[in-house]
Amino acid sequence: MGFSLRFTFNLIIALIWIKLLFSYLSVKLSYFQRHLTPNVEKFNPLGLPENFSKNIEFILLPVLLWSVIKHFKRFDKWMKEIIIISFIMFFLNIITGIINQKAIIESLNYTFKLFVPIYLFCFLIMYNKTTYFEIKKVVFRTIYLCVILTIIAIIFFNPSFNRLRNYLPIYFDGIHTHSYVLVSIFIGLSFKLYVLKKYYTMVIFFFLSILFMYFGYNVRTPLLMYLLYAITMVYLVPDIIFKALILRFLIFAPLILLFIILSVDLNELSSGRIDMYIEKANQLFEFGFIDWLFGKGAGSDLIASDVWWWEKKGAHSDLITYLVENGIVYLLFFALLFLRLTLIKKKANIIYMSILIGGLITSTISNGIFSRPIAAYLFFIVLAYIYIENKNHKQLII
């Protein structure tokens, strides 16, 4: 059993590293970059298809699914409950697919994206508990791999493109996914500084990494997620000066937010999201009772609108997509999943919770980290490390 478990662990980590390593092939160029050569043509000596990294999912999915089923008895109670919730949500997908005459595999797509990284999270914690293996080594090898790949991209790859401007080159699939990967990298590194009690170094690291993300890529939702975590960590620094600064920030934040609301076109600031949400509300008003319960099925979230030049687009909110495509019952189980994932113990851990709440915010106002497997794998690898460290070092539990 020990060998089998260790082999499974090594296989999963190897597959994730391969997925990360070849994710650059799926980086696409915008219309305004059509004069440039894409990575799949310029840096592809093996002649691999551009979706090679995504196809690794066809191996990772059955391996992780088989692992959680085979080792189900080894998981803690809260993990077992999460796994059961996942199977209920899969079943709801099948019902939705049958009702709307959609292909079952298409109906399961979003739930696979959501749960496979969560299975990894549970598996890593179980593996650490069962074998006493220090997963910290693997976590930071994965982080350092991503750092090296990011540097390679900056040196050799085409610039990225976002909101009609060029930004630093990216390695991981797209500028949004790449930014979420950076967030997970920075969370892992900063938490290590926190564990080592290098608080001032951590604060400087936050300042520099936020500047890097803002000026390097300027993708706002991942940045918001990272800011929430950074504010939490700075507040926890055992120095009254930092606590006072954060409290003052929190006092003035509502005033700053009110000023932005009154003086800025929120629809323009949100890249047309307000208009899209109105379109979604109109779509939901046309739903019947069964539609509200089980949704309209895979692809129903995509609508043509003048918000994005009549190109078919989704809600730009994972939660709205869940509601439109899978119904309110599915959305309620997602809420239950999040509560079970967050409130593991009666005494909540503020660091752990701030990271997950940040992730939920991204899925509320965008296609967030939970719907981007490349980023979600690293996110849950780092989260498993933080969970284990907090469990092993009682003084870290807030």
Instruction: Using alpha carbons, select from 213, 175, 207 the residue that is nearest to residue 193.
Output: 207
Instruction: Using alpha carbons, select from 98, 90, 138 the residue that is nearest to residue 116.
Output: 90
3-state secondary structure of 398: coil
Token pair belonging to 3: 């060998």
What is the model's pLDDT at position 268? 62
What is the model's pLDDT at position 246? 74
Does residue 133 have a pLDDT over 90? Answer: no
What percent of the chain shows pLDDT beyond 90? 70
The mean pLDDT value for 42-61 works out to 94
For residue 74, count other CB atoms closer than 10 A to its CB: 18
pLDDT in tens, 143-192: 999 999 999 999 999 999 988 899 999 999 999 999 999 999 999 999 99
71-75, 106-110, 278-282, 366-370: which has the minimum mean pLDDT?
Answer: 278-282
Does residue 325 have a pLDDT over 80? Answer: yes
For residue 197, count other CB atoms closer than 10 A to its CB: 10
Q: Does 204 or 237 have the greater pLDDT score?
A: 204
One-letter amino acid at 348 equals: A
189-193, 199-203, 317-321, 347-351: which has the minimum mean pLDDT?
Answer: 347-351
What is the model's pLDDT at position 266? 64
What is the model's pLDDT at position 398? 44
What is the model's pLDDT at position 217? 96
3-state secondary structure of 314: coil
The mean pLDDT value for 239-259 works out to 71
Arithmetic mean of pLDDT over the chain: 89
The mean pLDDT value for 208-236 works out to 95
For tokens 């809420």, what's the residue?
A: 335
Does residue 277 have a pLDDT over 90? Answer: no
Cβ pair 19, 53 in contact under 8 A: yes
What is the model's pLDDT at position 255? 73
3-state secondary structure of 313: strand
What is the model's pLDDT at position 243? 72
Backbone angles phi, psi at 343, to 5 degrees: -95, 70
Cβ pair 277, 320 in contact under 8 A: yes
pLDDT in tens, 290-318: 999 999 988 888 877 665 555 677 778 99
pLDDT band, residue 24 (cuts 50/70/90)? very high
Q: Does 131 or 330 have the greater pLDDT score?
A: 330
Does residue 393 have a pLDDT over 80? Answer: no
Cβ pair 64, 123 in contact under 8 A: yes
One-letter amino acid at 22 equals: F
Q: Does 28 or 2 have the greater pLDDT score?
A: 28
Instruction: Using alpha carbons, select from 282, 326, 398 the residue that is nearest to residue 98.
Output: 326
What is the model's pLDDT at position 232? 93
The residues facing 167 across adjacent strands are: 160
